[in-house]
């Protein structure tokens, strides 16, 4: 069987991607709010100061500062001259010239970017960034880019060394700290990820670091150190909504888990005023828990990196055919994560598109070959198309699972599928019953109902004499879940039984 794609617990952990993508997300902009925020033409005071310095003393340093401020405040046209100076100076650090290229591209002068610079930065591979760090060993952002590429390529130990260097060079950088904490979480070390932010002196004054500290504390099963500080920043009203979006989202999630639905709802409403893609996804995730539609539909087109939120929305709306494509876009924003492939594969399975489910599971396994969720997703897709021998071989690749864990019961159900398709009916029934009982012991009645549904499906396919009784049991178990994607599966199965097509191995 396929597990439910909707996540029971999602937290606003930092996203980690290339510097280019992070700049586009606006996560690195100054969180000091201009006094005339209501004026759309108002300039960031930092940008004004740096432009003045650049005009009075045009140097590489002042050019780099102008380019940085223009990028984070969205005023690239004002920095075009400084960007051209950086690009012309081949001794400048590669990432500075890269930022200058982004400025010219956004300012409409992309044709002024030299071909050699375009070619270099089109290649975000580890070997290139390794050469850059040798030429510029004190460039923290270059080390971080190298670590990112190494992580995507599953060179995790090498990435850890690169992360360490970046932290030594820029121990208080927002981008370095958020990226490093996400890396440690990727290594399944939430305690270290949280310690990095909880102990850093930059965290209490930075809403982006506060948001990450609160989310990572919950993952590490700790109380957030700066929860009250986060509330103070949120209530002070001194920062622009775009800088409070993930902080409000993280605090709202903490309040939800603490049982305060009213305060949680208020914070989530604040989080979607000017959200990042991460906060938008959290708003979609929390909607069924709080019973409030937080995300205006137009934001799916307006917000950068909105594909995860859109995938959750389409899944919840039971438009399952749209989910896999959105998950593929989501995977581009989360380049080393398997979650988009887990979500997409299982949504495709629930939609009866087993070929797509298999394709997405295999792509996810390229990133993490031993992921139990993806191995089970692949086995289920294979078994549901009659390839039970191949499915059984995939299940044998699973690492030993705890006898009373979710993964063990999911695997038991899929082993039951393989056994029944191979003609070992009694063995298969026992495995499904083991899964049903196991999910019930975990208090997971939804997956227990799904296991009963798939047992009924296999009984009909095998022509068992008591298949009608098993269908009735599945009907009773599935009643609370008919408005979920599982209900789509059950309705399709009942229609197949009614029309006599349930004997098709791909039902």
| 56 and 165 fall within a common domain | no
Which of 400, 353, 391 shows the shortest CA–CA distance to 372?
400
Q: Residues 274-331: pLDDT tens digits?
A: 999 999 999 999 999 998 899 988 899 999 999 999 999 999 999 999 999 999 999 9
Rounded CA-CA distance 170/138 in Å is: 9
| 77 and 132 fall within a common domain | no
Confirm whether 139 is domain-assigned.
yes
Give just the sign of the alpha carbon dihedral 233, 234, 238, 239: positive
What is the number of domains present in the chain? 3
Confirm whether 331 is domain-assigned.
no
| 440 and 419 fall within a common domain | yes
Confirm whether 418 is domain-assigned.
yes
Residue 467's domain is classified under what CATH number?
Answer: 1.25.40.10
| 347 and 494 fall within a common domain | yes
User: How far, in Å, are 269, 391, 424, 436, 452 from residue 417 at the CA level?
Assistant: 44, 9, 10, 13, 12
12 versus 77: the higher-pLDDT residue is 12
| 26 and 165 fall within a common domain | no
| 190 and 65 fall within a common domain | no
Rounded CA-CA distance 367/346 in Å is: 17
Show the tokens assigned to 98. 């890269």
| 119 and 165 fall within a common domain | no
Confirm whether 373 is domain-assigned.
yes
Provide the percentage of residues in the chain whose pLDDT is more than 70: 93
| 65 and 32 fall within a common domain | yes
Confirm whether 291 is domain-assigned.
no
Give just the sign of the alpha carbon dihedral 357, 359, 364, 365: positive
Last residue of one domain, picked from the residues 123, 158, 175: 123
Expressed as residue numbers, the domain containing 142 is: 125-217
| 361 and 458 fall within a common domain | yes
Length of the chain: 507
| 192 and 46 fall within a common domain | no
pTM score above 0.85: no
Q: Residues 20-41: pLDDT tens digits?
A: 778 777 787 665 554 443 444 4
Average the pLDDT over 66-75 and give the result. 76
Residue 423, judged by CB atoms within 10 A of its CB (0-12, 13-18, 19+), counts as: exposed
Q: Residues 323-358: pLDDT tens digits?
A: 999 999 999 888 889 999 999 999 999 999 999 999
| 492 and 351 fall within a common domain | yes
Q: DSSP state, 398? A: S
């Amino acid at each position: 069987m396929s597990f439910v794609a909707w996540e029971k617990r999602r937290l606003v952990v930092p996203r980690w991607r290339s510097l280019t993508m992070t700049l586009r997300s606006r996560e690195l902009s100054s969180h000091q709010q201009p006094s005339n925020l209501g004026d759309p033409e108002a300039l960031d005071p930092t940008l004004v100061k740096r432009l003045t310095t650049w005009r009075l003393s045009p140097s590489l340093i002042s050019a780099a500062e102008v380019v940085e401020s223009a990028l984070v405040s969205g005023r690239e046209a004002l920095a075009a001259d400084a960007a051209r100076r950086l690009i012309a100076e081949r001794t400048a650090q590669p990432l500075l010239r890269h930022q200058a290229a982004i400025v010219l591209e956004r300012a409409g002068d992309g044709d002024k970017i030299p071909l050699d610079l375009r070619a270099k930065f089109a290649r975000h591979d580890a070997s290139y960034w390794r050469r850059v760090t040798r030429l510029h060993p004190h460039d923290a952002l270059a080390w971080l880019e190298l670590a990112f590429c190494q992580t995507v390529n599953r060179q995790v130990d090498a990435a850890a060394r690169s992360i360490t260097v970046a932290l030594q060079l820029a121990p208080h950088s927002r981008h370095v700290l958020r990226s490093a904490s996400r890396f440690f979480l990727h290594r399944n070390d939430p305690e270290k990820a949280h310690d990095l932010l909880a102990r850093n002196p930059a965290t209490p004054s930075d809403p982006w670091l506060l948001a990450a500290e609160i989310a990572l504390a919950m993952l590490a099963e700790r109380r957030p150190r700066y929860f009250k500080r986060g509330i103070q920043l949120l209530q002070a009203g001194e920062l622009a909504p775009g800088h409070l979006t993930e902080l409000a989202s993280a605090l709202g999630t903490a309040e939800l888990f603490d049982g305060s639905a009213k305060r949680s709802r208020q914070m989530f409403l604040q989080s979607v005023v000017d959200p990042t893609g991460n906060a938008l996804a959290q708003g979609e995730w929390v909607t069924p828990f709080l019973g409030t539609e937080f995300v205006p539909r137009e934001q799916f087109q307006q917000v950068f990196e909105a594909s995860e939120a859109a995938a959750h929305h389409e899944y919840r709306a039971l438009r399952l055919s749209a989910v896999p494509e959105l998950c593929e876009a989501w995977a581009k924003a989360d380049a080393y994560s398997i979650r988009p492939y887990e979500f997409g594969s299982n949504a495709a399975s629930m939609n009866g598109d087993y070929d797509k489910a298999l394709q997405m599971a295999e792509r996810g396994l390229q990133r993490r070959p031993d992921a139990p969720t993806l191995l089970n997703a692949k086995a289920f897709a294979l078994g549901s198309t009659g390839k039970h021998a191949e499915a059984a071989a995939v299940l044998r690749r699973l690492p030993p699972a705890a006898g009373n864990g979710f993964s063990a019961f999911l695997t038991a159900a899929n082993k039951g599928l393989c056994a029944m398709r191979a003609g070992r009916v009694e063995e298969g029934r026992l495995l499904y019953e083991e899964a049903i009982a196991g999910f019930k012991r975990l208090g997971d009645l939804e997956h227990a109902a799904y296991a009963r549904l798939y047992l009924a499906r296999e009984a009909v396919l095998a022509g068992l004499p008591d298949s009608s009784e098993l269908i009735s049991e599945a009907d009773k178990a599935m009643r609370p879940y008919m408005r979920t994607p599982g209900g789509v599966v059950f309705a399709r199965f009942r229609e197949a039984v009614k029309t006599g097509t349930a004997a098709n191995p791909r039902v």
